[in-house]
Chains A and B, each alone.
Chain A
Amino acid sequence: MRTILLVTFLVTCFLLSYFMPTDVALSQSPKDCLRCHSVKTLSKNLEDKKTLSLYVDGSKFENSVHGALECSACHTDITMKNHPRPKKIDSKQALSKQVSQNCLTCHPKDALMKPKMHGELVKRGDPSCAECHGSHYINSMKEWKKTISFSGYCLTCHNLDLYKTLPSKEKLSLKVNYDEIKKSVHSKFECIVCHSDFSKTAHPSYNYKDKAQYRKELSSICKKCHTDTELQKNPIHYQLTKTASCIECHGAHNVKPAKGAKGATDNKYCLNCHSKALSMKMKNGETLSVQVKESDIMSSAHKKQKCIECHKEFSATQHPIRTFESISDYRAKAKDICNNCHQDAVKKYDASIHAMSLKNGNVKASDCMKCHDYHKTAYIKQDKTAGLKLCSSCHSKETEAFKSSVHHTALTQGKKDAPNCSSCHNAHDVLSTNIAKINNACVQCHKNIKNAHNKWLWNPPFRLTTFVDTHFNSASCSSCHISVNKAIYLTLIDKNKKKALTEQEIAKALGIDVKEVKIKLDLNGDGKIQENELWQFMKALKKKINAELAGRIDVVEPNDAHKIVAKAQTVKDCATCHNTKTNFSGKLEINKEGTKPAKYELETKAFNSAYSIPNISDFYVLGTTKIKILDILFFIALLGGIAVPIAHITLRILTAPIRRKRREGK
């Protein structure tokens, strides 16, 4: 019986111990918690893969303002009933945010909102209380304020990822990297030396509309020590201080000693300022960015060059002040820099249609930098598609046309010999197509092309390539290699100089204004030049210059010339051009300096006029440009040739009796 009672007692005790609530069984005094949490190595892996130390220094806690509180006063969610059990914690910040909620149970929010800056942070809940004030070892604020250094006081909060969203929606970081200050020229300064309106008791709040205003106004702090007089010693720097803020170049807290920066290697010194969003004003009010991205240089063909190799007049000690009329004036001068190394290219460029166009005030025209960029100069030669892309940025219509050609197909297939724009038009000496002798460009790649044409294009009995030349000289390759409408082009040339006449030269010779050339040509103003209008114009012009009209067959729409088709689709029928019913249109081209030639519609009758013999003396297409009056003469002669014998026979028949009588009379 005694044994039964003993067992029953033990079982009851066991069951009681099992079912009794643990909080009753164990108290929750700090001592209980510290039983485990005093172990220094106690830690927990967080979801963000970081480790959180769970160690609490008991004595330090006891000395804190919260020393008298139970752990559960703050850690309300932890009881012995549910602890220690796995609890997922995302990050230290998340934990402190969660725990900080409990601060508000004792510290009423109203009181915390009173200091303005503190209020804003509490309202936002970021950073949380614990992030600034710490957790277990919070001392009396009064005491803390007395003992802590000024900078320490500021950095308590400002070493955190504090930020402010400005009205411009820009996020302004208020985090201060103390190490940066320590390494800076201002390493010995307390924060309040510069931020003098701040103290342990005062924290004014400023409302900047954007970062630019913030930088500008904060830079005024610098000028307290770095006076205008001191800054004026370096004029270019002084000029910059008028437009740019100190912070933009020098940074806010990591201000480096000026001497150190001057000794900086290679491009670093220049980029110190020029990596920032600097700009300069032109006299005409245009703004030019003088910002240089280091990444642009490093990915460019000039990555091994130093800034001063191009910008020769600049150095760590010299920074001349330069003024320019306009961006185009600046670019024209910048070309000289390129010329230091790339003389050949610049010389060719100077003769190009791009250079002329720029000279004539077309700001959109290409120059070195328009194609090659300022600092992002790419290796163009190796990458043909890059070349195409470059030109296409201005010549989109032409690029579209080119895309339908066999040339573009070859380019996309990565064929070694496939052409891009510069293969035909040249890279630098880009000329107007009517004087560029573009057929020569075709021959450059299609080297054996004369013989290839000579297989079928020859005039018996001898197979001569000169017969191919005859056709190459008077028709563009595209006339046959693209199936589009063709035109006979006449270009006004100076026969003595063997050069195309420009509108300016013509106007000068005729003693009229450039704009009047068109009026002089198209006398009736119908937009088309009639036969007699052309001859009158030529008559007037020939009195002054040995002018002539050079002819060629080409496509009507110049852009179509980019659409070269495959060999099988080309024109091989001679009668396409050698025909009296070709339906070719007529065009008169007059070159213009620095831009594309002026093109006028021309009545095709002009080609069949006897006047074309002296005026278009060196261009003749069998069939198409024949002189019509000779046909009439041919028929008259033929009729005359037949009429003479007929008349003679008739007379002989009529006079036959006379002869008979005479014979009989004998």
Chain B
Amino acid sequence: MKKIYLHPLPVRIWHWINALGFIILIITGAQIRFVDQLGLMSFETAVQIHSWLGFILLANYCIWLFYYLFTGKLFKIYIPPFWKPIDFTKRALRQAKYYGYGIMIGDKNPHHSTPDNKFNPMQQVSYLMIMVALIPLQIITGLMLWDPQLFSSLINIIGGIQIATLIHTGLWIFFSAFIIVHFYLATLGHTPMAHIVAMFTGYEEEHDEH
């Protein structure tokens, strides 16, 4: 069984901080929104945790961004080969077919992760969207709600605090659903814990990748 070093340490640290942060942000976000329906903590505590974590994840995101920009991996890993759209679409469909059908009948995962080609086409599209668009958007709208006066000029550009709230809440809804699916997909390795363990150790067993 050959092991490949798929997740470098900075990525693993970033991932777990992000994962934990996301979960707590989702929960505290729910507490802020359902202030008198959820009794996990007081409104003030929820806001404080949410704000602290928001900034931690902002810093974390910057680490991720710098890491991927400086290593040049952002392009390799995250950007789908838009110059080969047909091939990419075919691969994406094949991947979708695998998750929807192939996995049931025992087909092999059409994608083989390597350090330079870590994500399957579907992952590539979704992670690109999440990392390049959705998380920055969530961070920016989060900042707007964190101190509307300080970011008033930004708020004006997007058309008011209601829009900021709408985006932030909409993404909260999306990430809540996403994180569940993400966790489930992480259990689809050759053993349910394979991908999860790899995310801790960095080494993925090559023979049976999903």
| A residues in contact (CB < 8 Å) with B | 459-461, 464, 466-467, 469-470, 473, 574-575, 578-581, 612-614, 616-620, 622-623, 626-627, 630-631, 633-634, 637-638, 640-642, 644-645, 648-649, 651-652, 654-655, 658-659, 662-663
Is B86 at the interface (CB under 8 A from chain A)?
Answer: no
CA distance A157 to B162 in the complex (A): 95
Q: Are A473's CB and B149's CB within 8 A?
A: yes
Whether the pair A655, B166 counts as a contact (CB closer than 8 A) is no
A470: B residues at CB distance < 8 A? 147-149
Interface residues of B in 163-210 (CB under 8 A from A): 163, 165-166, 169-170, 172-174, 176-181, 183-184
Whether A623 and B32, one on each chain, are in contact in the complex, defined by CB atoms closer than 8 angstroms, is yes
Q: Which of A461, A575, A633 contacts B35 (CB 8 A)?
A: A575
Kindly identify which residue among B43, B44, B103 contacts A652, using a CB–CB cutoff of 8 Å. Answer: B103
Q: Which of B36, B42, B43, B180 contacts A641 (CB 8 A)?
A: B180
Which of B2-10, B48-56, B63-71, B126-134 binds A?
B48-56
Q: Known interface pairs A470-B148, A634-B172, A638-B176. Does A658 touch B161 (Cβ–Cβ under 8 Å)? A: no
Is B105 part of the binding interface, using a Cβ–Cβ cutoff of 8 Å?
yes
B52 touches A461 (CB 8 A): yes
Chain A residues with CB under 8 Å of B99's CB are 648
B106–A658 touching, CB < 8 Å:
yes
What are 7 A-B pairs with beta-carbon distances under 8 A? A459-B47, A574-B44, A574-B47, A575-B35, A575-B36, A620-B165, A622-B145
Q: Is B115 an interface residue, CB under 8 A from the partner?
A: no
The reply to whether B166 and A575 form a contact with Cβ atoms under 8 Å apart is no
Whether B162 pairs with A618 at a CB distance below 8 angstroms is yes
Contact check: which of B42, B162, B181 meets A644 at CB < 8 Å? B181
Q: A662 contacts which chain B residues (CB < 8 A)?
A: 105-106
Decide: A641 near B150, CB < 8 A? Known: A461-B52, A575-B42, A616-B162.
Answer: no
* CB–CB B42/A655 < 8 A: no
Enumerate chain A residues within 8 angstroms of B159, measured Cβ to Cβ. Answer: 617
Contact indicator B166/A580 (Cβ below 8 Å): no
Q: Does B104 contact A (CB under 8 A)?
A: yes
Q: How far is the CB of B137 from chain A (nearest CB, A)?
A: 16
Chain B residues close to A by CB (< 8 Å): 30, 32-37, 42-44, 47-48, 51-52, 55, 99, 103-106, 145-150, 155, 159-163, 165-166, 169-170, 172-174, 176-181, 183-184
Residues from chain A with a CB closer than 8 A to the CB of B162 are: 612-614, 616-620
In chain A, what residue has the closest Cβ to B185? Answer: A645
**Distance from B194 Cβ to chain A, minimum over Cβ atoms (Å):** 15
Q: Is there an interface contact between B150 and A464, defined as CB atoms closer than 8 Å?
A: yes
Nearest-CB distance from B49 to chain A (Å)?
A: 9
**Given A620-B161, A644-B184, A652-B103, A578 contacting B173 (CB threshold 8 A):** no
A637→B173 contact, CB < 8 A: yes
| A623 engages B43 (CB within 8 Å) | yes
Measured CA separation A470–B32 after assembly (Å): 18
